[in-house]
Amino acid sequence: MTRRHGVLFIVNDDAELALAADADGVHLGQADLPLNEARRIVGKSMLIGISTHALSQALKAERDGADYVGVGPVYPTATKPGRQAVTTAYVAVAASQLRIPFFAIGGISPATAEEVLAAGARRLCAVSAVVGHADPAAVCVTLKRSIERWEAEDALRRSQSLSIAENAKRTEAARLGKTEETLNAPAVGTSEAPNAAGTGIPLLLNGKRTWCESVSLGALAGALGLAGRRVMAELNGQAVPRADWDAVPLCPDDRVEFVQFVGGG
């Protein structure tokens, strides 16, 4: 039936059944069969997806050869009651860190879709909002239109940002030229100028231009002596759970914030 309509058929949880049914793919949960095990059963050509609830799980899935991941539940959902929502913060981190496709899932409806798309998702998965609605087809059309609108805007932005990136590179080169006399930075950690070896990447760290040798958010926190402290971190406007710090790589011009609780009313 799905083939007649040109739709992919993905079997949930059961790799053997997916193989027997000649399905297009199999979708795993975190508690199901490990990815490599499933891959061994279904072979190279079948799609494998896996639900993830944190960036570390998604990056692991990517490494282990998943074709796509689920990111969620973004909101509390009736489909999986009692599950902690990962919020659009995880959607945004996934959008910036994953190379394989991901689906935002959990509490997705026409009412929440805009926020999820704004966070960077371009694939949505909705259950309750569709099957629980008097007119499921209309809900699907609405969701599809929202996605298409964001994709169109992406395309527009891509064509404009090429020139912006070029400009930024030139500004950076000019700035580097001026600071060459102050190249006495320490070999590890951070500094206000690039080091002698010319390695390291520029960051905006707590609002200040900083050069950093660290490859991950976790390594940067370590270099700053924040490892044992109750500190929260934000990367490019998105809070990053501490458990994910080591898995989040730093890229040039990332905006990093390290914050803490202080006295207040």
Partner 1 sequence: MNAAYSPYSPLRIGGIALRSRLFLGTGRYPSPAVMREALEASGAHVVTFAVRRIDLDVAEDDPLLGQMGGKDLIYLPNTSGASTADEAVRIARLAKEAGLGNWVKVEISGHPRLLLPDPAETLRATERLAREGFTVLPYTSDDPMQALRLEEAGAAAIMPGGSPIGTGLGILNPYHIGWIVENAGVPVIVDAGLGSAADAATAMELGADGILVNTPVAKARDPVAMAAAMRLGVEAGWLSRQAGRIPRRAYASASSDETGALFAEATSARGGRP
The single-letter DSSP state of residue 216 is B
What are the φ and ψ backbone dihedral angles of 154, each rounded to 5 degrees?
-55, -45
Q: Is residue 234 within the footprint of partner 1 (CB under 8 A)?
A: yes
Cβ of residue 74: shortest distance to partner 1, in angstroms?
A: 9
35/58 with CB nearer partner 1: 58
67/257 with CB nearer partner 1: 257
d(CA 65, CA 41): 14
Q: Is residue 250 within the footprint of partner 1 (CB under 8 A)?
A: no
6/265 with CB nearer partner 1: 265
Q: Is residue 242 within the footprint of partner 1 (CB under 8 A)?
A: yes
| x-or-dash string of contact with partner 1, 63-102, rule CB under 8 A | ------------xx-------xx-xxx-------------
Q: List the one residue from 112, 200, 203, 247 that touches partner 1 (CB under 8 A).
A: 112
The pairing of beta strand 68-71 with beta strand 25-28: unpaired
Q: List the one residue from 239, 246, 249, 255 that touches partner 1 (CB under 8 A).
A: 239
Q: Is residue 115 within the footprint of partner 1 (CB under 8 A)?
A: yes
Any idea which residue has 């992919």 for tokens? Answer: 8
Which own/partner pairs from 216-220 qualify as long-range (CB within 8 Å, at least 24 positions apart)? 216/245, 216/246, 216/247, 216/248, 216/249, 216/250, 217/244, 217/245, 217/246, 217/248, 217/249, 217/250, 217/256, 218/245, 218/246, 218/247, 218/248, 219/246, 220/190, 220/250, 220/256
d(CA 40, CA 43): 6
Cβ of residue 239: shortest distance to partner 1, in angstroms?
A: 4
Q: Is residue 260 within the footprint of partner 1 (CB under 8 A)?
A: yes
d(CA 179, CA 233): 29
Q: Is residue 129 within the footprint of partner 1 (CB under 8 A)?
A: no
Q: Is residue 6 within the footprint of partner 1 (CB under 8 A)?
A: no
177/225 with CB nearer partner 1: 225
How many chain residues are in contact with partner 1, going by CB under 8 A?
38
| x-or-dash string of contact with partner 1, 209-228, rule CB under 8 A | ---------------xxx--
User: Token pair of 139, please?
Assistant: 């809900």
Closest CA to 57 of 19, 100, 8, 115: 100
20/259 with CB nearer partner 1: 259
Whole-number Cα distances in Å, 189 to 82, 146, 179, 214, 243: 42, 43, 18, 7, 21
Which residues of this protein are in contact with partner 1, per CB under 8 A?
A: 75-76, 84-85, 87-89, 112, 115, 190, 205-208, 224-226, 229-234, 237-242, 257-265
